Chain A
Amino acid sequence: MIRDITFGQYYPGDSVIHRLDARVKILWTLMYLVMIFFVKDFIGYGIFIVALAGIIKAAKIPFRYIARGMKPIMFILILTFILNMFLHDGKVLVQLGPLEITDVGVQTAVFIAFRLILLIFGTSLLTYTTKPMQLTDGLEKLMSPLAKLGFPANEVAMMISIALRFIPTLLDETDKIMKAQQARGADFETGNVIKRITSMIPLIIPLFVSSFRIAQDLAMAMEARCYRGGTGRTRLHPMKYKKADYVAYTFIVVFAAVIVVQSRGILPLPMLWPR
Protein backbone atom coordinates (compact mmCIF):
# COMPACT_ATOMS: atom_id res chain seq x y z
CA MET A 1 0.00 0.00 0.00
CA ILE A 2 2.72 2.41 1.04
CA ARG A 3 4.66 1.23 -1.98
CA ASP A 4 2.04 2.79 -4.22
CA ILE A 5 3.85 6.08 -3.84
CA THR A 6 5.89 6.23 -7.02
CA PHE A 7 6.54 9.97 -7.19
CA GLY A 8 10.25 10.75 -6.87
CA GLN A 9 11.37 7.17 -7.45
CA TYR A 10 13.60 5.82 -10.16
CA TYR A 11 12.03 3.43 -12.66
CA PRO A 12 14.82 1.18 -13.91
CA GLY A 13 15.10 1.06 -17.67
CA ASP A 14 17.38 1.60 -20.63
CA SER A 15 15.35 3.78 -22.97
CA VAL A 16 16.39 6.77 -25.05
CA ILE A 17 15.04 9.02 -22.33
CA HIS A 18 16.91 7.15 -19.59
CA ARG A 19 20.14 7.61 -21.52
CA LEU A 20 19.75 11.37 -22.05
CA ASP A 21 22.10 13.66 -20.15
CA ALA A 22 20.60 14.62 -16.79
CA ARG A 23 21.10 18.31 -17.57
CA VAL A 24 18.80 18.05 -20.58
CA LYS A 25 16.10 16.46 -18.48
CA ILE A 26 16.45 18.98 -15.66
CA LEU A 27 16.21 21.93 -18.04
CA TRP A 28 13.27 20.32 -19.82
CA THR A 29 11.50 19.92 -16.50
CA LEU A 30 12.14 23.55 -15.54
CA MET A 31 10.96 24.74 -18.92
CA TYR A 32 7.90 22.50 -18.66
CA LEU A 33 7.05 23.94 -15.24
CA VAL A 34 7.19 27.50 -16.53
CA MET A 35 5.46 26.82 -19.83
CA ILE A 36 2.48 25.11 -18.30
CA PHE A 37 1.51 28.43 -16.73
CA PHE A 38 1.53 30.06 -20.16
CA VAL A 39 -1.22 27.79 -21.36
CA LYS A 40 -4.55 29.55 -21.76
CA ASP A 41 -6.75 26.99 -23.47
CA PHE A 42 -7.22 23.34 -24.13
CA ILE A 43 -5.30 23.41 -27.37
CA GLY A 44 -2.23 24.35 -25.33
CA TYR A 45 -2.90 21.39 -23.07
CA GLY A 46 -3.36 19.24 -26.13
CA ILE A 47 0.17 20.10 -27.23
CA PHE A 48 1.45 19.25 -23.74
CA ILE A 49 -0.39 15.95 -23.68
CA VAL A 50 0.94 14.93 -27.09
CA ALA A 51 4.52 15.80 -26.07
CA LEU A 52 4.15 14.03 -22.73
CA ALA A 53 2.63 10.93 -24.29
CA GLY A 54 5.53 10.79 -26.73
CA ILE A 55 8.09 11.03 -23.93
CA ILE A 56 6.35 8.41 -21.78
CA LYS A 57 6.23 6.07 -24.76
CA ALA A 58 9.91 6.67 -25.51
CA ALA A 59 10.81 6.12 -21.84
CA LYS A 60 8.95 2.78 -21.85
CA ILE A 61 7.29 3.46 -18.52
CA PRO A 62 3.85 1.86 -18.14
CA PHE A 63 1.14 4.49 -17.96
CA ARG A 64 -0.37 2.61 -15.01
CA TYR A 65 2.82 3.10 -13.00
CA ILE A 66 2.76 6.87 -13.46
CA ALA A 67 -0.96 7.04 -12.82
CA ARG A 68 -0.42 5.33 -9.49
CA GLY A 69 1.84 8.22 -8.55
CA MET A 70 -1.27 10.42 -8.68
CA LYS A 71 -2.94 8.66 -5.79
CA PRO A 72 -1.36 10.70 -2.99
CA ILE A 73 -2.47 13.98 -4.59
CA MET A 74 -5.96 12.76 -5.47
CA PHE A 75 -7.33 14.48 -2.39
CA ILE A 76 -5.82 17.86 -3.30
CA LEU A 77 -7.00 17.43 -6.85
CA ILE A 78 -10.60 16.74 -5.85
CA LEU A 79 -10.61 19.53 -3.28
CA THR A 80 -9.37 22.19 -5.73
CA PHE A 81 -11.81 20.91 -8.31
CA ILE A 82 -14.77 21.30 -5.95
CA LEU A 83 -13.67 24.69 -4.62
CA ASN A 84 -13.14 26.05 -8.11
CA MET A 85 -16.60 24.98 -9.21
CA PHE A 86 -18.19 27.15 -6.54
CA LEU A 87 -15.85 30.11 -6.38
CA HIS A 88 -16.33 31.81 -9.72
CA ASP A 89 -18.97 34.22 -10.92
CA GLY A 90 -20.75 33.36 -14.15
CA LYS A 91 -23.87 31.78 -15.50
CA VAL A 92 -25.41 29.64 -12.75
CA LEU A 93 -25.70 26.00 -13.71
CA VAL A 94 -26.71 24.39 -10.41
CA GLN A 95 -28.02 26.06 -7.28
CA LEU A 96 -27.28 24.33 -3.94
CA GLY A 97 -28.77 26.59 -1.28
CA PRO A 98 -26.46 29.60 -1.02
CA LEU A 99 -23.85 27.85 -3.18
CA GLU A 100 -23.90 27.97 -6.92
CA ILE A 101 -21.96 26.13 -9.57
CA THR A 102 -21.26 28.39 -12.52
CA ASP A 103 -20.16 27.70 -16.06
CA VAL A 104 -16.94 29.66 -15.51
CA GLY A 105 -16.44 27.68 -12.29
CA VAL A 106 -16.70 24.34 -14.07
CA GLN A 107 -14.39 25.50 -16.83
CA THR A 108 -11.82 26.76 -14.36
CA ALA A 109 -12.08 23.58 -12.27
CA VAL A 110 -11.42 21.37 -15.27
CA PHE A 111 -8.66 23.69 -16.43
CA ILE A 112 -6.84 23.70 -13.07
CA ALA A 113 -7.26 19.94 -12.69
CA PHE A 114 -5.57 19.46 -16.05
CA ARG A 115 -2.76 21.73 -14.96
CA LEU A 116 -2.18 19.79 -11.73
CA ILE A 117 -2.24 16.42 -13.45
CA LEU A 118 0.12 17.58 -16.17
CA LEU A 119 2.43 19.10 -13.55
CA ILE A 120 2.73 15.85 -11.62
CA PHE A 121 3.02 13.68 -14.71
CA GLY A 122 5.65 15.88 -16.30
CA THR A 123 7.84 16.48 -13.28
CA SER A 124 7.75 12.90 -12.04
CA LEU A 125 9.27 11.78 -15.34
CA LEU A 126 12.55 13.40 -14.34
CA THR A 127 13.13 11.08 -11.39
CA TYR A 128 11.60 8.04 -13.11
CA THR A 129 14.22 8.21 -15.84
CA THR A 130 17.25 9.64 -14.03
CA LYS A 131 19.32 7.89 -11.37
CA PRO A 132 19.85 9.98 -8.22
CA MET A 133 23.59 10.19 -8.81
CA GLN A 134 23.12 11.43 -12.37
CA LEU A 135 20.60 13.93 -11.10
CA THR A 136 23.09 15.30 -8.58
CA ASP A 137 25.82 15.51 -11.16
CA GLY A 138 23.48 17.31 -13.53
CA LEU A 139 22.26 19.74 -10.89
CA GLU A 140 25.77 20.45 -9.74
CA LYS A 141 26.98 21.12 -13.23
CA LEU A 142 24.04 23.42 -13.95
CA MET A 143 24.64 25.30 -10.72
CA SER A 144 28.39 25.52 -11.17
CA PRO A 145 28.32 29.10 -12.49
CA LEU A 146 26.69 30.05 -9.18
CA ALA A 147 29.46 28.28 -7.27
CA LYS A 148 31.86 30.96 -8.45
CA LEU A 149 29.72 33.45 -6.52
CA GLY A 150 30.07 31.39 -3.35
CA PHE A 151 26.87 29.37 -3.72
CA PRO A 152 27.39 25.87 -2.22
CA ALA A 153 26.43 24.12 -5.46
CA ASN A 154 27.94 20.74 -4.61
CA GLU A 155 26.47 20.63 -1.13
CA VAL A 156 22.99 21.56 -2.34
CA ALA A 157 23.19 19.01 -5.14
CA MET A 158 24.37 16.36 -2.68
CA MET A 159 21.55 17.16 -0.25
CA ILE A 160 18.93 16.91 -2.95
CA SER A 161 20.28 13.62 -4.23
CA ILE A 162 20.53 12.13 -0.74
CA ALA A 163 16.94 13.15 -0.09
CA LEU A 164 15.85 11.50 -3.32
CA ARG A 165 18.02 8.47 -2.72
CA PHE A 166 16.39 7.86 0.64
CA ILE A 167 12.77 8.10 -0.43
CA PRO A 168 12.67 4.38 -1.37
CA THR A 169 14.75 3.44 1.67
CA LEU A 170 12.36 5.22 4.00
CA LEU A 171 9.36 3.74 2.20
CA ASP A 172 10.88 0.28 2.69
CA GLU A 173 11.48 1.07 6.33
CA THR A 174 7.91 2.34 6.72
CA ASP A 175 6.60 -0.81 5.10
CA LYS A 176 8.61 -3.03 7.44
CA ILE A 177 7.65 -1.20 10.62
CA MET A 178 4.03 -1.07 9.53
CA LYS A 179 4.02 -4.82 9.03
CA ALA A 180 5.77 -5.42 12.34
CA GLN A 181 3.10 -3.39 14.15
CA GLN A 182 0.30 -5.05 12.20
CA ALA A 183 1.74 -8.38 13.32
CA ARG A 184 1.05 -7.11 16.84
CA GLY A 185 -2.51 -6.32 15.90
CA ALA A 186 -2.13 -2.66 14.95
CA ASP A 187 -4.80 -1.35 12.63
CA PHE A 188 -3.86 1.51 10.31
CA GLU A 189 -6.77 1.28 7.96
CA THR A 190 -10.04 1.65 9.80
CA GLY A 191 -11.58 4.04 12.32
CA ASN A 192 -12.28 7.75 12.42
CA VAL A 193 -9.76 10.54 11.82
CA ILE A 194 -8.62 10.78 15.47
CA LYS A 195 -8.14 7.05 15.76
CA ARG A 196 -6.23 6.93 12.51
CA ILE A 197 -3.91 9.73 13.56
CA THR A 198 -3.14 8.15 16.92
CA SER A 199 -2.64 4.80 15.24
CA MET A 200 0.27 6.41 13.38
CA ILE A 201 2.33 6.88 16.56
CA PRO A 202 3.65 3.29 16.58
CA LEU A 203 4.77 3.94 13.02
CA ILE A 204 6.17 7.47 13.22
CA ILE A 205 8.36 7.02 16.28
CA PRO A 206 10.28 3.97 15.05
CA LEU A 207 10.57 5.68 11.68
CA PHE A 208 12.22 8.70 13.28
CA VAL A 209 14.61 6.48 15.18
CA SER A 210 15.42 4.59 11.98
CA SER A 211 15.99 7.80 10.02
CA PHE A 212 18.53 8.98 12.55
CA ARG A 213 20.24 5.62 12.47
CA ILE A 214 20.35 5.64 8.67
CA ALA A 215 21.61 9.24 8.61
CA GLN A 216 24.34 8.42 11.08
CA ASP A 217 25.45 5.36 9.11
CA LEU A 218 25.49 7.36 5.91
CA ALA A 219 27.52 10.18 7.47
CA MET A 220 29.98 7.63 8.78
CA ALA A 221 30.27 5.91 5.41
CA MET A 222 30.83 9.23 3.64
CA GLU A 223 33.45 10.27 6.13
CA ALA A 224 35.18 6.91 5.87
CA ARG A 225 35.52 7.61 2.17
CA CYS A 226 36.94 11.06 2.89
CA TYR A 227 34.01 13.14 1.65
CA ARG A 228 34.98 16.75 2.28
CA GLY A 229 32.54 18.60 0.09
CA GLY A 230 32.79 19.14 -3.61
CA THR A 231 35.83 21.33 -4.26
CA GLY A 232 38.45 19.57 -6.31
CA ARG A 233 36.48 16.35 -6.79
CA THR A 234 36.85 14.69 -10.14
CA ARG A 235 34.33 12.34 -11.70
CA LEU A 236 34.32 8.73 -12.69
CA HIS A 237 31.86 9.53 -15.46
CA PRO A 238 32.47 13.09 -16.70
CA MET A 239 29.30 14.56 -18.16
CA LYS A 240 29.48 14.88 -21.89
CA TYR A 241 26.71 15.81 -24.31
CA LYS A 242 25.98 13.31 -27.05
CA LYS A 243 24.12 13.76 -30.29
CA ALA A 244 20.80 12.69 -28.74
CA ASP A 245 21.18 15.46 -26.16
CA TYR A 246 21.45 18.15 -28.81
CA VAL A 247 18.41 16.71 -30.55
CA ALA A 248 16.56 16.89 -27.23
CA TYR A 249 17.61 20.51 -26.69
CA THR A 250 16.29 21.38 -30.12
CA PHE A 251 13.01 19.70 -29.24
CA ILE A 252 12.81 21.71 -26.00
CA VAL A 253 13.37 25.03 -27.79
CA VAL A 254 10.83 24.19 -30.47
CA PHE A 255 8.30 23.09 -27.88
CA ALA A 256 8.75 26.29 -25.86
CA ALA A 257 8.38 28.38 -29.00
CA VAL A 258 5.18 26.59 -30.01
CA ILE A 259 3.65 27.09 -26.58
CA VAL A 260 4.58 30.78 -26.42
CA VAL A 261 3.28 31.45 -29.90
CA GLN A 262 0.10 29.47 -29.38
CA SER A 263 -0.71 30.97 -25.96
CA ARG A 264 0.01 34.57 -27.04
CA GLY A 265 -2.37 34.09 -29.89
CA ILE A 266 0.34 35.24 -32.31
CA LEU A 267 -0.70 32.53 -34.70
CA PRO A 268 -4.35 32.57 -35.62
CA LEU A 269 -4.91 29.15 -34.07
CA PRO A 270 -8.51 28.54 -33.04
CA MET A 271 -9.03 29.11 -29.32
CA LEU A 272 -11.00 26.41 -27.60
CA TRP A 273 -12.49 27.56 -24.34
CA PRO A 274 -10.47 30.78 -24.20
CA ARG A 275 -9.98 32.34 -20.78
Chain B
Amino acid sequence: MRVKIENLTHIYNQGQANETAALDDVTLTIEDGEFAGLIGHTGSGKSTLVQHLNALLKPHSGKIFIGDTDITEKGVSLMDIRKKVGLVFQYPEHQLFEATVEEDVAFGPKNLGLSEEEIAQRVDEALRLVGLDPEVHGKRSPFELSGGQKRRAAVAGVIAMKPEILILDEPTAGLDPGAHQEILEMIQHIRKEQKCTTLLVSHNMDDIARLCDRVIVMNKGKVALNGTPAEVFSQDDFLKSIGLGLPAAKELLYIMKNKGIDVASRVGGAVADVLTDQQAADVIFEMLQKSGKISAGTGMEEK
Protein backbone atom coordinates (compact mmCIF):
# COMPACT_ATOMS: atom_id res chain seq x y z
CA MET B 1 0.00 0.00 0.00
CA ARG B 2 1.29 3.42 -0.92
CA VAL B 3 2.01 6.18 1.58
CA LYS B 4 1.86 9.73 0.36
CA ILE B 5 2.65 12.73 2.53
CA GLU B 6 1.96 16.24 1.32
CA ASN B 7 3.20 19.46 2.94
CA LEU B 8 3.05 17.99 6.42
CA THR B 9 3.82 20.38 9.26
CA HIS B 10 3.72 19.62 12.96
CA ILE B 11 4.31 22.04 15.81
CA TYR B 12 4.67 20.89 19.42
CA ASN B 13 3.53 23.16 22.26
CA GLN B 14 2.11 25.71 19.91
CA GLY B 15 1.91 29.17 21.42
CA GLN B 16 4.23 28.43 24.31
CA ALA B 17 7.77 29.46 25.07
CA ASN B 18 9.06 26.00 24.11
CA GLU B 19 7.25 25.82 20.78
CA THR B 20 9.05 23.47 18.32
CA ALA B 21 8.33 22.99 14.65
CA ALA B 22 9.19 19.29 14.56
CA LEU B 23 8.06 18.85 10.94
CA ASP B 24 8.24 21.59 8.38
CA ASP B 25 6.53 21.12 5.04
CA VAL B 26 7.40 17.46 4.54
CA THR B 27 6.41 15.94 1.20
CA LEU B 28 7.31 12.39 0.22
CA THR B 29 5.93 9.18 -1.19
CA ILE B 30 6.68 5.59 -0.30
CA GLU B 31 5.61 3.27 -3.10
CA ASP B 32 3.68 0.06 -2.58
CA GLY B 33 6.01 -2.74 -1.53
CA GLU B 34 9.01 -0.49 -1.17
CA PHE B 35 11.53 -0.85 1.66
CA ALA B 36 12.30 2.74 2.64
CA GLY B 37 14.85 3.89 5.17
CA LEU B 38 14.51 7.06 7.26
CA ILE B 39 17.65 8.58 8.70
CA GLY B 40 18.43 11.83 10.45
CA HIS B 41 20.13 13.30 13.46
CA THR B 42 18.40 12.91 16.86
CA GLY B 43 15.61 15.48 17.05
CA SER B 44 15.27 15.81 13.27
CA GLY B 45 11.63 14.74 13.45
CA LYS B 46 11.71 11.07 12.43
CA SER B 47 9.59 9.80 15.30
CA THR B 48 7.18 12.67 14.90
CA LEU B 49 6.80 11.83 11.22
CA VAL B 50 6.10 8.14 11.71
CA GLN B 51 3.56 8.82 14.45
CA HIS B 52 1.51 10.76 11.93
CA LEU B 53 1.28 7.78 9.65
CA ASN B 54 -1.16 5.96 11.88
CA ALA B 55 -2.88 9.06 13.19
CA LEU B 56 -1.32 9.05 16.66
CA LEU B 57 -0.44 12.66 16.05
CA LYS B 58 -2.58 15.18 14.22
CA PRO B 59 -0.73 17.47 11.85
CA HIS B 60 -0.83 21.22 12.09
CA SER B 61 -1.32 21.24 8.32
CA GLY B 62 -0.83 18.92 5.37
CA LYS B 63 -2.26 15.68 4.07
CA ILE B 64 -1.38 12.02 4.55
CA PHE B 65 -2.67 9.39 2.17
CA ILE B 66 -2.58 5.74 3.16
CA GLY B 67 -3.54 4.02 -0.06
CA ASP B 68 -6.27 6.33 -1.33
CA THR B 69 -7.56 7.48 2.05
CA ASP B 70 -6.60 10.87 3.41
CA ILE B 71 -6.26 10.06 7.11
CA THR B 72 -6.17 13.71 8.13
CA GLU B 73 -9.81 14.09 7.13
CA LYS B 74 -12.52 14.01 9.74
CA GLY B 75 -14.51 10.83 10.06
CA VAL B 76 -11.88 8.28 9.01
CA SER B 77 -11.89 5.26 11.28
CA LEU B 78 -8.83 5.23 13.54
CA MET B 79 -9.12 1.48 13.93
CA ASP B 80 -8.97 1.08 10.17
CA ILE B 81 -5.78 3.13 9.94
CA ARG B 82 -4.14 1.28 12.79
CA LYS B 83 -5.00 -2.02 11.22
CA LYS B 84 -3.37 -1.02 7.96
CA VAL B 85 -0.35 0.76 9.40
CA GLY B 86 1.61 -1.17 12.02
CA LEU B 87 3.93 1.03 14.04
CA VAL B 88 6.66 -0.51 16.18
CA PHE B 89 7.82 2.16 18.61
CA GLN B 90 11.31 2.77 19.84
CA TYR B 91 11.97 0.37 22.75
CA PRO B 92 8.70 -1.45 22.03
CA GLU B 93 9.36 -3.88 24.90
CA HIS B 94 8.25 -1.10 27.26
CA GLN B 95 4.68 -1.66 26.12
CA LEU B 96 4.48 -5.31 27.20
CA PHE B 97 1.95 -5.79 29.98
CA GLU B 98 0.17 -9.14 29.90
CA ALA B 99 0.91 -12.17 32.06
CA THR B 100 2.08 -14.23 29.11
CA VAL B 101 3.65 -13.42 25.76
CA GLU B 102 0.72 -15.07 23.97
CA GLU B 103 -1.82 -12.84 25.66
CA ASP B 104 0.26 -9.78 24.99
CA VAL B 105 0.51 -10.53 21.28
CA ALA B 106 -3.24 -11.16 21.29
CA PHE B 107 -3.95 -7.62 22.51
CA GLY B 108 -3.94 -6.06 19.04
CA PRO B 109 -6.03 -8.73 17.29
CA LYS B 110 -8.49 -8.61 20.21
CA ASN B 111 -8.92 -4.89 19.73
CA LEU B 112 -9.71 -5.61 16.10
CA GLY B 113 -12.61 -7.70 17.33
CA LEU B 114 -11.53 -10.97 15.69
CA SER B 115 -12.85 -14.37 16.67
CA GLU B 116 -11.07 -16.53 19.27
CA GLU B 117 -9.77 -18.99 16.67
CA GLU B 118 -8.59 -16.24 14.38
CA ILE B 119 -6.78 -14.55 17.30
CA ALA B 120 -5.10 -17.80 18.38
CA GLN B 121 -4.02 -18.49 14.83
CA ARG B 122 -2.62 -15.00 14.34
CA VAL B 123 -0.71 -15.12 17.63
CA ASP B 124 0.84 -18.42 16.63
CA GLU B 125 1.76 -17.12 13.21
CA ALA B 126 3.15 -13.81 14.49
CA LEU B 127 5.32 -15.50 17.11
CA ARG B 128 6.76 -17.85 14.50
CA LEU B 129 7.39 -14.94 12.15
CA VAL B 130 9.49 -13.11 14.73
CA GLY B 131 11.35 -16.29 15.56
CA LEU B 132 9.79 -17.17 18.89
CA ASP B 133 8.38 -20.60 19.65
CA PRO B 134 4.68 -20.32 20.59
CA GLU B 135 4.99 -23.49 22.71
CA VAL B 136 8.05 -22.37 24.64
CA HIS B 137 8.08 -18.56 24.73
CA GLY B 138 4.37 -18.04 24.26
CA LYS B 139 3.47 -19.32 27.71
CA ARG B 140 6.16 -17.35 29.53
CA SER B 141 5.86 -13.96 31.12
CA PRO B 142 7.22 -11.31 28.75
CA PHE B 143 9.33 -10.00 31.62
CA GLU B 144 11.27 -13.27 31.78
CA LEU B 145 12.55 -13.04 28.21
CA SER B 146 15.96 -11.71 27.18
CA GLY B 147 16.26 -8.19 25.77
CA GLY B 148 16.23 -9.34 22.14
CA GLN B 149 13.36 -11.76 22.75
CA LYS B 150 11.29 -9.10 24.49
CA ARG B 151 11.67 -6.89 21.47
CA ARG B 152 10.62 -9.71 19.14
CA ALA B 153 7.58 -10.33 21.31
CA ALA B 154 6.68 -6.66 21.08
CA VAL B 155 7.09 -6.70 17.30
CA ALA B 156 4.89 -9.80 17.14
CA GLY B 157 2.20 -7.76 18.92
CA VAL B 158 2.14 -5.42 15.92
CA ILE B 159 2.61 -8.09 13.23
CA ALA B 160 -0.38 -9.99 14.60
CA MET B 161 -2.59 -7.18 13.32
CA LYS B 162 -1.37 -7.99 9.79
CA PRO B 163 -0.51 -4.46 8.77
CA GLU B 164 -0.02 -3.67 5.09
CA ILE B 165 2.51 -1.03 6.01
CA LEU B 166 5.09 -1.82 8.66
CA ILE B 167 6.98 1.02 10.31
CA LEU B 168 9.82 0.39 12.73
CA ASP B 169 11.27 3.24 14.79
CA GLU B 170 14.89 2.37 15.60
CA PRO B 171 14.15 -1.31 16.15
CA THR B 172 17.73 -2.22 16.99
CA ALA B 173 18.49 0.58 19.47
CA GLY B 174 20.27 -0.69 22.55
CA LEU B 175 20.70 -4.29 21.42
CA ASP B 176 23.95 -6.27 21.34
CA PRO B 177 25.42 -7.06 17.89
CA GLY B 178 23.97 -10.57 17.85
CA ALA B 179 20.43 -9.46 18.67
CA HIS B 180 20.84 -6.53 16.29
CA GLN B 181 21.56 -8.86 13.39
CA GLU B 182 18.71 -11.19 14.37
CA ILE B 183 16.20 -8.33 14.45
CA LEU B 184 17.25 -7.24 10.95
CA GLU B 185 16.91 -10.78 9.66
CA MET B 186 13.52 -10.94 11.32
CA ILE B 187 12.44 -7.76 9.53
CA GLN B 188 13.51 -9.16 6.17
CA HIS B 189 11.71 -12.41 6.92
CA ILE B 190 8.49 -10.61 7.87
CA ARG B 191 8.72 -8.53 4.72
CA LYS B 192 9.09 -11.59 2.58
CA GLU B 193 6.20 -13.43 4.21
CA GLN B 194 3.73 -10.57 4.61
CA LYS B 195 4.74 -8.51 1.57
CA CYS B 196 4.33 -5.30 3.51
CA THR B 197 5.54 -1.87 2.52
CA THR B 198 8.24 -1.06 5.06
CA LEU B 199 9.70 2.07 6.61
CA LEU B 200 12.77 1.60 8.79
CA VAL B 201 14.02 4.40 11.02
CA SER B 202 17.64 3.80 11.91
CA HIS B 203 20.94 5.39 12.86
CA ASN B 204 22.89 2.56 11.33
CA MET B 205 23.98 3.53 7.81
CA ASP B 206 25.24 0.02 7.06
CA ASP B 207 21.82 -1.48 7.73
CA ILE B 208 20.09 1.19 5.66
CA ALA B 209 22.51 0.80 2.75
CA ARG B 210 22.18 -2.95 2.74
CA LEU B 211 18.42 -3.28 3.18
CA CYS B 212 16.63 -0.30 1.71
CA ASP B 213 15.45 0.47 -1.80
CA ARG B 214 15.27 4.13 -0.92
CA VAL B 215 16.66 6.43 1.71
CA ILE B 216 14.98 9.54 3.09
CA VAL B 217 17.18 11.92 5.03
CA MET B 218 15.60 14.31 7.52
CA ASN B 219 17.25 17.43 8.87
CA LYS B 220 15.61 19.90 11.27
CA GLY B 221 12.11 18.78 10.37
CA LYS B 222 12.63 18.90 6.61
CA VAL B 223 13.36 16.23 4.01
CA ALA B 224 16.99 16.95 3.12
CA LEU B 225 17.61 14.10 0.68
CA ASN B 226 15.46 11.42 -0.88
CA GLY B 227 16.80 8.83 -3.31
CA THR B 228 18.41 5.43 -3.79
CA PRO B 229 21.09 4.47 -1.25
CA ALA B 230 23.74 5.04 -3.94
CA GLU B 231 22.45 8.56 -4.62
CA VAL B 232 22.06 9.54 -0.99
CA PHE B 233 25.35 8.13 0.24
CA SER B 234 27.27 9.85 -2.54
CA GLN B 235 26.57 13.14 -0.69
CA ASP B 236 29.16 12.40 1.95
CA ASP B 237 30.08 16.00 2.79
CA PHE B 238 26.47 17.01 3.18
CA LEU B 239 25.63 13.98 5.31
CA LYS B 240 28.55 14.72 7.60
CA SER B 241 27.53 18.36 7.88
CA ILE B 242 24.16 17.33 9.28
CA GLY B 243 25.68 14.91 11.77
CA LEU B 244 25.27 11.68 9.83
CA GLY B 245 27.85 9.25 8.54
CA LEU B 246 28.43 6.85 5.68
CA PRO B 247 28.24 3.09 5.55
CA ALA B 248 31.55 1.77 6.92
CA ALA B 249 32.52 0.16 3.59
CA LYS B 250 32.10 3.41 1.72
CA GLU B 251 33.97 5.33 4.37
CA LEU B 252 36.85 2.87 3.99
CA LEU B 253 37.02 3.36 0.24
CA TYR B 254 36.95 7.14 0.64
CA ILE B 255 39.85 6.98 3.10
CA MET B 256 41.82 4.81 0.68
CA LYS B 257 41.00 7.17 -2.16
CA ASN B 258 42.28 10.13 -0.14
CA LYS B 259 45.48 8.21 0.44
CA GLY B 260 45.83 7.80 -3.33
CA ILE B 261 44.41 4.35 -3.85
CA ASP B 262 41.14 4.75 -5.71
CA VAL B 263 40.10 1.14 -5.47
CA ALA B 264 36.82 1.48 -7.28
CA SER B 265 38.14 3.31 -10.32
CA ARG B 266 41.01 0.85 -10.68
CA VAL B 267 38.48 -1.85 -11.38
CA GLY B 268 36.41 0.42 -13.58
CA GLY B 269 33.75 1.46 -11.06
CA ALA B 270 33.08 4.35 -8.74
CA VAL B 271 33.09 4.60 -4.95
CA ALA B 272 29.51 5.81 -5.23
CA ASP B 273 28.37 2.33 -6.29
CA VAL B 274 29.87 0.63 -3.27
CA LEU B 275 27.49 0.41 -0.33
CA THR B 276 27.91 -2.80 1.58
CA ASP B 277 30.84 -4.59 3.18
CA GLN B 278 30.41 -7.35 0.63
CA GLN B 279 30.68 -4.96 -2.32
CA ALA B 280 33.76 -3.31 -0.82
CA ALA B 281 35.38 -6.69 -0.30
CA ASP B 282 34.60 -7.57 -3.91
CA VAL B 283 36.22 -4.46 -5.43
CA ILE B 284 39.28 -4.71 -3.19
CA PHE B 285 39.64 -8.34 -4.11
CA GLU B 286 39.29 -7.57 -7.79
CA MET B 287 41.87 -4.80 -7.56
CA LEU B 288 44.35 -7.06 -5.84
CA GLN B 289 43.78 -9.71 -8.47
CA LYS B 290 44.22 -7.25 -11.34
CA SER B 291 47.41 -5.86 -9.90
CA GLY B 292 48.70 -9.39 -9.56
CA LYS B 293 49.12 -9.19 -5.79
CA ILE B 294 47.15 -12.38 -5.44
CA SER B 295 46.63 -15.08 -8.02
CA ALA B 296 43.27 -15.49 -9.68
CA GLY B 297 40.92 -17.82 -7.89
CA THR B 298 42.41 -17.56 -4.37
CA GLY B 299 40.35 -16.35 -1.51
CA MET B 300 37.08 -16.33 -3.39
CA GLU B 301 35.55 -19.11 -1.35
CA GLU B 302 36.34 -17.37 1.91
CA LYS B 303 33.89 -14.59 1.27
Which residues of A come within 8 Å of B, CB atoms?
11-13, 62, 64-65, 173, 176-177, 179-187, 201-202, 205-206, 209-210
Bound-state CA distance A140–B79 (Å) is: 51
Instruction: Flag whether B132 is at the interface (Cβ < 8 A).
Output: no
Closest to A202 in B: B97
CA distance A177 to B96 in the complex (A): 9
Q: Is the CB of A62 within 8 A of B16?
A: yes
Knowing A12-B17, A179-B89, say if A187 contacts B95 (CB, 8 Å). Answer: no
Question: Who on chain A is nearest to B86 by CB?
Answer: A183
Q: Which of A65, A173, A184, A201 contacts B16 (CB 8 A)?
A: A65
From residue B190, how far is it (CB to closest CB) to chain A in Å?
Answer: 16
Contact B157 A184 (CB under 8 A): yes
Question: Could you write out 24 A-B pairs with CB less than 8 Å apart?
Answer: A62-B16, A65-B16, A173-B94, A176-B89, A180-B94, A180-B95, A181-B107, A182-B78, A182-B82, A183-B56, A183-B82, A183-B86, A184-B95, A184-B158, A184-B161, A185-B79, A185-B82, A185-B107, A185-B111, A185-B112, A186-B111, A202-B97, A205-B97, A210-B94
Given A205-B97, A210-B94 in contact, is the A183-B87 Cβ separation under 8 Å? yes
- Choose from B56, B111, B158, B161 the contact partner of A179 (Cβ within 8 Å): B56
Docked complex Cα distance between A176 and B51 (Å): 11
Q: Which of B56, B94, B112 contacts A182 (CB 8 A)?
A: B56
Q: Which residue of A is nearest B79, CB measured?
A: A185
User: Chain A interface mostly helix, strand, loop or mixed?
Assistant: helix
Q: Are B82 and A209 in contact (CB under 8 A)?
A: no
Q: Which residues of B contact A (CB under 8 A)?
A: 15-18, 51, 54, 56, 78-79, 82-83, 86-87, 89, 92, 94-97, 107-108, 111-112, 143, 157-158, 161
B79–A201 CB distance below 8 A: no
Residues in chain A near residue B82, CB distance under 8 A: 182-185
5 nearest CB pairs, A to B: A185-B111, A184-B108, A180-B95, A205-B97, A183-B87
**Cβ 8 A contact of A186, one of B54, B83, B107:** B107
A62 to B111: give the CA distance in the assembly, Å. Answer: 40
| Chain B residue with Cβ nearest A213 | B94
Contact of B97 (CB < 8 Å), options: A13, A179, A201: A201
A267 to B51, CA, bound (A): 61
Most buried by B among A182, A201, A205: A182
**Complex Cα distance A184/B89, Å?**
11
Contact (Cβ within 8 A) B94 A184 = no
Tell me which residues across on chain B come within 8 A of A64, comparing CB atoms.
Answer: 15
CA distance A62 to B15 in the complex (A): 9
| A180 near B97: Cβ-Cβ < 8 Å | no
Residue of A13, A184, A205, A206 with most partner-chain B CB within 10 A: A184
